Structure 1
Amino acid sequence: MEVENRKYITVEELKLHNNPGDLWIAIQGKAYNVTDWAEDHPGGGTPLLNMAGQDVTDAFIAYHPGTAWQYLDKFFTGYYVKDFKVSDVSKDYRKMYSEFLKMGLFEKKGHWALYNMVSIAFMLWVVVYGVVRSESTLVHLGCGFVLGMLWIQAAYMGHDSGHYLVMKSRFWNNVAQILAGNCVTGISIAWWKWTHNAHHIACNSLDYDPDLQHIPVFAVSTRFFNSLTSVFYGRELTFDAVARFLIGYQHFTYYPVMIFGRINLFIQTFLLLFSTRPVPNRFMNILGILVFWTWFPLLVSCLPNWGERVMFVLVAFAVTALQHIQFTLNHFSGDTYVGPPMGNDWFEKQTAGTIDISCSSWMDWLFGGLQFQLEHHLFPRLPRCQLRKVSPIIQELCRKHCLPYRSLSFWDANVSTIRTLRTAAFQARDLTNPVPKNLVWEALNTHG
């Protein structure tokens, strides 16, 4: 009798509730009004808005613990979606999630977080001791190398705590985020959450995924040449003469740019924290950044001369380039698309846009578990120590549904990425695709 009295809406009617002032989503066929919740959503309002007016069951179970279900009732509209269909892929994905849940994989964090924190503390001691107590230039350069490795591992710690994978309570995870992200690396965890959550939801969407939007320096697809509008940033990604020139040689500039990629992250951090947009825990984020910009300049100032100081910083930046390269290898040569993420092909989009890096288990520490990029995208709440274990199971599911599972060696992933950049670069140089020219471009290209 209760079923007969239910109120229903269609999938098309649900799609109409897709803007910030009228934001509905559906989970397992029940419609929820999250308009007023979007600003308070721990993952930010962007993921909700990107998938507004859709059934988001797969994404919901991927990013939320079982305790989150109890909070849904207060958003229930009283409506059920009567004509939504669950694909065979989604059915198998949800079954796999349930099996992992029964196995307790989401709770078995292992001791990797402890090992990581100990290694970070040890490297910090080595760097400080070497800089302060040694007068050797080689030792100082070695300390720069260790500092780069420290920043890489701290970034992994910030990433994992940002996904609430390190500590058991939200409070202590937030503490770990600020310490590892803001205080140690100088990169705001608020900025990371803002961009990273959008990236996960809209993996490899050219206009929704900020991790692909690097105009005018890089373009992984010729569709950027039409000056796409970034939904994430709310502005046009203009393909002008400057962009054409830079992108035309991006396969040569890729590695040098990665060396200085950290500078861009520092700039993005300041732009967000001192902007007018809402920033969760703004004060704590700013305080953490101040901690970084206190200890790091003091450490550099302990070096005996400006030559060593510059080399020290450059070596540290060059080492962190390994991490920036890894992140781009995971997605730059993956399949791309234009438009918002869709709830009914969420699994398929993750497999299409993601590339794993194959390596031996002893290298897991270096890659931070993110060499299993697809596994992480499908199960972002899964501790990194479980990713290698579930990889064969996910491979089998991909084979069953004829979906790509790409796992390349670090070398092959670099080759694939450079090939993607080179292809786009040659097409950017094509003068039959007119954009306003500048003198530099014409001098280099008019006469071959």
Structure 2
Amino acid sequence: MGKLSERSLTRRQIEGMIADGKAVFLYKGEVMSVNAWMPYHPGGDTAIKHMIGRDATDEVFALHSEDAKRRMKSYIIGKYDGAWENFLPPIKGGVFRKYNGPEDDEEERLRMRLDLDAASDSTPSSPTLSATSSSEDSFPLLDPSLRRRRVESSSSSVTTVEDETEVPPGHFDGDYLTRQYIEADLAKYPSLQNATQKEIAQKYRDLEVRIRAAGLYKCNYWAYAKECTRYAFLFASSMWCLRNGWYKTSAFFMGAFWHQLVFSAHDAGHMGITHNFQVDTVLGIIIANFLGGLSIGWWKRSHNVHHIVTNDPEHDPDIEHLPFFAVSHRFFGSIFSSYYQRYMPYDAFARFFVPMQHYLYYPILLFGRFNLYFLSFEYLFKGLGPRKGPAAWHRYLELAGLVVFWYWFGYGVVYKGIPNGWDRFSFIMISHMVTMPLHVQITLSHFAMSTADLGTTESFAQRMLRTTMDVDCSEWLDWFHGGLHLQAIHHLFPRIPRHNLRPTQKLVMEFCKDVGIPYAIYGFYRGNEEIIGRLAEVARQAKLLAECQKVMQEKGEFGGF
């Protein structure tokens, strides 16, 4: 591997490899080809696919243990000298050309010189908005779904085609809305020029060094001892009430037990407890599967993708909730989910629920835990996790965990512990509905934030802060929120133990002020106002779309979103 890893590769050579089907990305200037690892990756192959053609340094560093990063060295196939310009990954519609030899390298060098000359002539301090022509080859940065929206970009700036006319009353224009949301973000956040974003990335890496030096990656095991005491109290209270025939009270304590338990499962899934992959995974399986009836493997597969393409309607499973919720008008186009590998139709059910989603938000979330059961069963019974490698045996332990859970909870507590059908039903519904605040917390940090795709030059740090909010609360309430209220901090540094997120917050605030990225933080009440406001806004758009379609049908006109 020595000589192979030392060879310098050109951009066109790397592009040609991707065109040939190789999963290639950059990490700290080294070129990785990881096709052989994808079936073994504990976080699933979809997360890797989103990194193909990109400099994945920050994503890899944020989400992987030191041991995993050391093992990655075996996949190095060369190095790249100079500043890398990200490609749009194939999973997002990127198109790659075959490599035909050195003449392609010369052509690429000429193109890059022309780009640099153009950038030095303009040197705008912020992305430029102006009219320009459109072509299929003019969109190297933005998602292909935006190509038909006539949004163009280059490595040095982002240019959008501005339509000077307002949307006429009674007319729904999804393209116009897409442009407006993108332009709002461009005006609010730092320039997407390569130089600006690379400076942000470097300062983010410097911040990580400061955080590590401050010992904030070290786990406070005494804090977990207190957590375990709380879990034991809630579970014992549920069992005591059950024994005394106080079934509804017992159900409340059971739900509170699950609500609190999930926070530690989340920590274990991110290797935030011992920082050892196998140890933390086993802890996560014990907590999630054996005690909660949910799959930690499913959560990892979904959550890793969420951390990489946060709030992207076509790619982030954490905001794909049709037919019940749509947090962006882009869902009206019956999008194709790259995670679920299927279309999410904006069908009759969606047209019924979405216009009322701001009213239905809390009632629907009362049933959120039942959906988690379904997703867990689907993941384990379909064998969607790795079948080989260091995580292959986890599936069998997880299945054993579900058997144990349904034995102690389904048979022991619900069937044997409760004498009649109505009380059993009440116990199940109350215990599951009590976990609703957890689902509010999970959605609160993202539903009200940006869903725009600003392209391939945007740094990992800026995207995380643009798509995620923190929820402010008194420090003594941190136990209730379980660290999920500090999601912006968590998204920047997922492996930091949650008991260290609050001191990390001060350093992140300094970072945001330094680089000029707005740091979104709201109180719990205001955060809920923001999310209900966003859902109401999309609901109004859905009603307008329905009215437009009705008028078109009456006039005999036909057209798509």
TM-score, length of structure 2 as denominator length: 0.73
Counterparts of 2:55 and 2:302, CA distance in 1: 22
Q: How far is the alpha carbon of 1:121 from its aligned partner?
A: 2.3
* Equivalent in 226, 245, 251 of residue 358 of structure 2: 251
CA drift at 1:343: 7.3
Contact 2:237 2:250 (8 Å CA) reproduced: yes
Code of the aligned partner of 1:288 = G
Q: Does 1:324 align with 2:439?
A: yes
Name the aligned partner's letter for residue 92 of structure 1: K
What is the aligned counterpart of 2:405 among 292, 310, 321?
A: 292
Task: Say which SS state the counterpart of residue 72 (structure 1) adopts.
Answer: helix
Deviations 1:250-274 (A, max 9, x none): 1111111100111111111111211
Distance 1:291 1:17 in 2: 47
Aligned to 2:9: 9
Which structure: larger Rg?
2
Shift in alpha-carbon separation, 1:168–1:332, aligned structure 2, 3 A: closer
CA drift of 1:66 comes to 3.3
Deviation at 1:12, TM superposition (A): 5.6
2:521 aligned partner: 407
Q: Which of these residues, 409, 421, 431, is aligned with residue 535 of structure 2?
A: 421
Q: Could you tell me how far 1:46 is from its partner in structure 2?
A: 1.7
TM-superposed deviation, 1:278:
3.8
Give the equivalent residue in structure 2 for 1:159. Answer: 266
Amino acid at match of 2:350: A
Q: How far off is 1:337 after superposition?
A: 2.5
Return the offset for 1:332: 0.2
**Residue 135 of structure 2 corresponds to residue 22 of structure 1:** no
**Alignment partner of 1:434: what SS?**
helix
Describe the SS at the equivalent of 1:357.
strand
Equivalent residue for 1:89?
200
Structure 2 equivalent of residue 440 of structure 1: none
Give matches, 1:37-436, under 5 Å. 37-84=37-84, 87-132=198-243, 134-135=244-245, 139-167=246-274, 169-279=276-386, 280=392, 281-297=394-410, 298-301=412-415, 302-338=417-453, 342=456, 344-430=458-544, 431-434=546-549
> Which residue number in structure 2 is paired with residue 36 of structure 1?
36
1:446 is matched with which residue? none
- Displacement after TM superposition at 1:171 (Å): 3.1
The one-letter amino acid of 1:240's match is D
State the one-letter code of the partner of 1:263.
F
Cα 1:398–1:51 change in 2 (3 A) is same
Give the CA RMSD over aligned residues: 2.5
CA separation of 1:374 and 1:79: change in aligned 2, threshold 3 A: same
2:282 counterpart SS class: helix
Unpaired runs of 5+ residues, structure 1, are: 438-448
Are 2:26 and 2:57, in contact at CA under 8 Å, matched by a contact in 1?
Answer: yes
Cα 1:419–1:168 change in 2 (3 A) is closer
Q: Which amino acid aligns with 2:59?
A: A
Tell me the distance in 2 between the aligned counterparts of 1:321 and 1:271: 22
**Cα pair 1:240 1:436 within 8 Å, conserved:** no
Q: Alignment partner of 2:502: what SS?
A: helix
TM-score of the pair, normalised by structure 1? 0.90
The Cα offsets for residues 304-329 of structure 1, whole Å up to 9 and x where unpaired, read as: 33332222222212210000011110
How far off its partner does 1:15 sit? Answer: 4.6
- Identity over aligned residues, as a percent? 32
- Deviation, structure 1 residue 349: 0.7
| Equivalent-residue separation in structure 2 for 1:358 and 1:16 (angstroms) | 48
Change in Cα spacing, 1:252 to 1:20, as seen in structure 2 (3 Å) is: farther
**SS across alignment from 2:471:** strand
Instruction: Quote the offset at 1:7 in angstroms.
Output: 3.9
Structure 2 residue aligned with 1:445: none
The change in CA–CA distance for 1:149 and 1:81 in structure 2 (over 3 A counts) is farther
- Secondary structure at the counterpart of residue 206 of structure 1: coil
Task: Tell me by how many angstroms 1:81 deviates.
Answer: 4.2
**Contact kept? 1:18, 1:49, Cα under 8 Å:** no
Deviation at 1:13, TM superposition (A): 4.8
Moved more, 139-148 or 220-229: 139-148
8 A contact 1:11–1:83 mirrored in 2: no
Q: Deviation digits for residues 85-105 of structure 1, max 9, x if unmatched?
A: 671111110001111122222
SS in 2 for 1:185: coil
Relative to structure 1, the CA distance from residue 20 to residue 130 in structure 2 (aligned partners, 3 Å threshold; closer, same or farther) is farther
Structure 2: how far apart are the matches of 1:62 and 1:168? 12
In structure 1, distance between residues paired with 2:15 and 2:504: 35
Secondary structure of 1:9's counterpart equals coil
The separation in 1 between residues aligned to 2:274 and 2:69, in whole angstroms, is 21
Q: Quick one: which amino acid aligns to residue 292 of structure 1?
A: F
Q: Secondary structure at the match of 2:46?
A: helix
Once the two structures are superposed, residues 16-42 of structure 1 have per-residue CA deviations (whole angstroms, 9 ceiling, x without a partner) of 555894101101211111111112223
> Are the counterparts in 1 of residues 445 and 468 from structure 2 also a CA contact under 8 Å?
yes
Q: Please tell me whether the aligned partners of residues 24 and 33 of structure 1 are also in contact (alpha carbons under 8 angstroms).
A: yes
CA distance in structure 2 between the partners assigned to 1:190 and 1:42 by the alignment: 8
Aligned CA distance change for structure 1 residues 143 and 342 (closer, same or farther; 3 Å): farther
Letter in 2 for 1:75: Y
Q: 1:288 to 1:18 in 2, by over 3 A?
A: farther
| Structure 2, unaligned runs of 5 or more | 85-193, 387-391, 553-561
Please give the secondary structure, in 2, of the residue aligned with 1:77: strand
Once residues 508 and 451 of structure 2 are traced to their aligned partners in structure 1, the CA distance between those partners, rounded to angstroms, is: 21
- 1:256 is matched by which residue type in structure 2? P
CA distance in 2, matches of 1:57, 1:251: 39
Would you say the 8 A contact 2:65–2:276 is kept in 1?
no
